[in-house]
């Protein structure tokens, strides 16, 4: 299959939003419970819409798409080349989004998209490129490792115990009743 990697055009966005709707699940951590998937999908698409609106004025942002020779969208990558790593102050490229159609992860599609992004970053004189993905996206992790990307940081997560309002009220009633003696006669009439 011939794969074309190019900058996005306005007419590409409907296909990008469709692929994003299918791929947003990889941005979600399975550790998080009670996720409203529809709300998460809408938030993700809202963010992409903001990118679309701001792209014309962001000279150091690159929204690349990979498509087949017949124009089918296979994946996309969004990167900025004007990012400064907060701790070290080192300038780097940052990949904000990297979405590949499910059946194309084992093809040349992710390789060509990433190679194009790396080429842009190197032409800009940058020596570093970074991306953040969830640790549960095995295909992306394995792919990035095959391209010599290394784990740099780990983000930790802890879930606090949650009590519903009914559970809290029940405990408050039990506590309030502690020490009170009730006189109950049996049989109740």
- What domains appear along the chain, each with residue ranges and CATH number? 3-177 (3.40.630.30)
Give the pLDDT of residue 26: 84
Which band of pLDDT confidence, cut at 50, 70 and 90, is reported for residue 136?
A: confident
Give the pLDDT of residue 181: 61
Most confident residue range from 34-38, 61-65, 102-106 = 61-65
* 110 close to 100: Cβ distance less than 8 angstroms: yes
Residue 183 in 3-state DSSP? Answer: coil
Rg of the chain taking only CA atoms, in angstroms: 25
Instruction: Provide the percentage of residues in the chain whose pLDDT is more than 70.
Output: 92
Alpha-carbon span 122 to 91, nearest angstrom: 12
Length of the chain: 189
| Eight-state DSSP code of residue 28 | S
Which band of pLDDT confidence, cut at 50, 70 and 90, is reported for residue 118?
A: very high
Ranges 19-23, 41-45, 183-187: which has the least confidence? 183-187
Q: What are the C-alpha distances in Å from 62 to residues 38, 103, 152, 187?
A: 27, 24, 23, 80
Who has greater pLDDT, 151 or 134?
151
Give the pLDDT of residue 37: 86
User: How high does pLDDT run on average in the chain?
Assistant: 87
Is pTM, for the whole model, over 0.85?
no
Taking residues 158-175, report their average pLDDT.
74
Taking residues 72-95, report their average pLDDT.
94
Ranges 55-64, 109-118, 164-173: which has the least confidence? 164-173
Which band of pLDDT confidence, cut at 50, 70 and 90, is reported for residue 183?
A: low
């Amino acid at each position: 299959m011939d794969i074309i990697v190019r900058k996005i055009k306005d007419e590409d966005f409907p296909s990008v939003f469709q692929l994003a709707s299918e791929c947003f699940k990889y941005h979600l951590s399975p550790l998080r419970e009670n996720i409203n998937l529809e709300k998460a999908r809408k938030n993700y698409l809202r963010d992409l819409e903001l990118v679309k609106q701001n792209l014309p004025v962001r000279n150091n942002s690159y929204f690349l798409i990979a498509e087949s020779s017949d124009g089918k969208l296979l994946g996309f990558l969004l990167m900025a080349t004007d990012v400064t790593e907060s701790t070290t102050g080192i300038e780097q490229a940052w990949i904000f989004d990297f979405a590949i159609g499910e059946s194309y992860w084992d093809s040349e599609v992710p390789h060509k998209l990433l190679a194009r992004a790396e080429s842009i970053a190197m032409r800009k004189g940058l020596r570093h490129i970074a991306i953040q993905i969830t640790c549960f996206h095995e295909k992306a992790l394995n792919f990035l490792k095959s391209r010599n990307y290394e784990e740099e940081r780990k983000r930790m997560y802890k879930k606090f115990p949650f009590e519903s309002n009914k559970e809290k009220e029940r405990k408050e009633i039990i506590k309030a009743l502690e020490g009170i003696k009730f006189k109950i006669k049996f049989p109740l009439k």
